Chain A
Amino acid sequence: MIFMNKIIEKDTILYLDSKDTHVVLDINASCKVKVYHFVIDSESEIYINLNHEGAEINYYYYIINYQDHRYQINVVHHKNHTISHIYNHGVNVKNNNLHFSVNGIVPRDIVHCICNQENQIINIENGKSTICPNLLIDCYDVISNHSAYIGRFKLEELFYLESRGLSRKKAYQLLLKGFLIPIEMDLKKIENFLLEIENI
């Protein structure tokens, strides 16, 4: 398997899509990197290496899933004072399997790091979704949080939207967009993904 390898040495915003299935990001400077990764029905395997003190990654992964797929992301804090925030949102549309394996790794003797991850999968039908949120932390001086949610949209949210006149379909569309697209996102960059949401 051929990985796309990117070396980053300055503040950067990256946009990835379904074609970027195998990616290695090496962050080799004290800089802030934001990655928006929008995937339609595909596998993904991502490796992020924080190779310099002060390196920071904010990774936003969004998938619309129809078949059995697996997503794996590994973040390795190779240096002190490195920061990772990993957000993974998936919508499992049909009765298939969607698996997230999310690994935050802080080796021994690496200190003062922040290693966070937030994972959510919304099942539209009766798909089997799983999340493995792994924090492999081999030292004490690290701030680390994780969360994992698999389920449906909350009925209270649907009720609120419907009580303002939105049909069930429109309410779902709004919740899906809210879940799969960050508010600050320039929609022109993800027209295909947006279209796919409207087809769910």
Chain B
Amino acid sequence: MLEVKNLSCKVKNIDKTILSDFNLKINDGEVHVIMGPNGTGKSTLSKMIMGHYQYEIIDGQIFFNDQNITSFNTSDRAKKGIFLAMQDPTVIEGVSNSEFLKEAVGEVRGEKVNLYRFITEMNNGIENLHLSSDMLHRSINSGFSGGEKKKNEVLQLRVLKPKFIILDELDSGLDVDSLNIVCSNINQYLEENKNVSVLIITHYPRILEYIHPDYVHILNKGRIVQTGDYSLAKKIEKYGYQGINELGKNDFHE
């Protein structure tokens, strides 16, 4: 599905390397988690995979379904089936959610949108996510609460039907009930699409109680320093990243 090979990158026009010789391979249907303290490059990784304009690749490649997408623009990556649910979704005044999503569905599926089918899909999504139906006619993320913004990301995900999902700090800004609703929707999507892979970026293991990971990686200073299963996330919760580093000298292997 997705393979990141020896990736090093920096912020454009600033001489500071963020990811350094980073490697990650995610197979079809797997759920991977990247955890790590602030400022280690977690969100940068998610943006790099999506082709964000602020970052520049120094070295390395990104492959998606065996195709080198390193030079692809953001739109083409999305059309290939990569979806980034953003930590802080952008507000766009004047562009309604419904118009935006209708255009996006048309572009991603490469066909004229069947309006009846689209409206039905949207209405189902809104109901499943406990969103108000008027959000469709409001500007993108404008005046939305933190929870509504995250639910809107998941609504887009459900409608656009990606093959690879990146969840960047999905649980930030969500109360317990909203987190439950959002994760149930994602799990339902994964249940319906067994080959879809997920990369979860998170500080806290709380979200992993809802979406169970196959692999947990700890990122530090731009590279993966430890890999384990769900138990590694529980240890991080118990001991913190500093404590894990100490324990890691005996318990874990890179």
Contact = CB atoms under 8 A, between A and B. Distances in A.
Given A156-B90, A157-B92, A177-B94, A163 B50 contact: yes
Contacts of A161: 92, 95, 100, 104
A162 B75 contact: yes
B90 A157 contact: yes
Contacts of B53: 155, 159
Determine which residue in A161, A164, A174 has the highest number of CB atoms from chain B within 10 A of its CB, and name it: A164
B95 A165 contact: no
B92 A166 contact: no
B139 A164 contact: no
A61 B100 CA distance: 24
A157 B74 CA distance: 13
Interface in A142-197: 155-157, 159-168, 170-171, 174-175, 177-179, 181-183
Nearest to A178: B94
A165 B160 contact: yes
B95 A174 contact: yes
Interface string A124-150: 000000000000000000000000000
A28 B104 CA distance: 47
B108 interface: yes
B75 A177 contact: no
Contacts of A178: 92-96, 139
B107 A165 contact: yes
Given A164-B100, A164-B156, A165-B75, A175 B107 contact: no
A167 B86 contact: no
A167 B156 CA distance: 17
Contacts of B77: 163
Contacts of A160: 86, 89-90, 92, 140
Interface residues of A, number: 23
B106 to A, nearest CB: 9
Given A174-B99, A183-B137, A164 B104 contact: yes
Contact of B79 (A156, A165, A177, A179): A165
Q: B74, B77, B103, B160: which has the most chain A beta carbons within 10 Å? A: B74
B100 A174 contact: yes
Nearest to A173: B103
Contacts of A156: 90
Given A162-B73, A162-B75, A170 B103 contact: yes
Contacts of B73: 162, 168
Interface string B103-131: 11001100000000000000000000000
Interface string B182-200: 0000000000000000000
B235 interface: no
A166 B75 contact: yes
Contacts of B95: 161, 174-175, 177-178
Contacts of A181: 94
Interface string B149-163: 000000010001000
Given A160-B90, A174-B103, A183-B96, A165 B84 contact: no
A44 B107 CA distance: 38
Contact of A183 (B75, B94, B156): B94
B206 interface: no
A165 B52 contact: no
Nearest to A171: B75
Interface of B: 50, 52-53, 73-75, 77-79, 83-84, 86, 89-90, 92-96, 99-101, 103-104, 107-108, 137-140, 156, 160
Interface of A: 155-157, 159-168, 170-171, 174-175, 177-179, 181-183
- Closest 8 A/B residue pairs (Cβ): A178-B94, A178-B95, A165-B108, A160-B90, A165-B78, A162-B74, A164-B104, A162-B75
